[in-house]
Amino acid sequence: MLGEKELISGCAKGERAAQRELYDRHCRRLMAVCLRYAKNAPEAEDILQDAFVKIFKNLKTFRFESKLDTWMTRIVINTALNHQRQKLYLLPMVDVDEAGLHEDEKVSLADFHLSELIAMVQALPDGCRVVFNLFAIEGYGHKEIGELLGISEGTSKSQYNRAKSLLRSKLETVKVKYGKV
């Protein structure tokens, strides 16, 4: 089994075996990232495909200044954002009062199957879904998200609060429907 440096070196030289090895090692984790940003699985696969082509083309510029996992994830997220960009009409929304949203501790995500949670995220409106992923999962701040998407910090916050609200109501609906407590 090749070490990471040998693998990167082989990929940079265009060796298809090394590229396949790198793909096999990372495709499942990155597919999960794509699924969160996409509307459905075929769109997620399109994003994954484009992202890996970019990764292989740009691997020679990888300077080992960050972890390879982080670098690849960033490329996948950027590719996903580019896919979404045309659909992103992030209109400024009225800020939802944070205090008005109660933290429902009774609903545990562990009660849900992973595919159910993914489906809930995918069901979010495009703008809400992107902001939710960037803020809640990737850990970006609203200011950074605003700069990344070319929107105001306030819009990012309101989109996130709307995503949060929609997800919470979805969780409660499913919980009631299937009796998950």
Q: How many helices (H) and strands (E) does the chain have?
A: 8, 0
62 touches another protein by CB under 8 A = no
CA dist 36 and 119 (Å) reads 9
Residue 48: which H helix or E strand, with range?
Answer: helix 41-58
Among 139, 177, 179, 181, binds another protein (CB under 8 A): 139
Cβ proximity to another protein, 67 vs 150, nearer residue = 67
Instruction: Decide if 167 contacts 138 (C-beta within 8 A).
Output: no
119 touches another protein by CB under 8 A = no
* Residue 151 C-beta: closest distance to another protein, Å: 20
* Residue 4 C-beta: closest distance to another protein, Å: 19
3-state helix, strand and coil shares in percent for the chain, rounded to the nearest 5: 70, 0, 30
Residues that bind another protein (CB under 8 A): 14-17, 19-20, 23, 27-29, 31-32, 35-36, 44-45, 48-49, 52-53, 56-57, 103, 105, 108-109, 114, 117, 135-137, 139, 164, 168
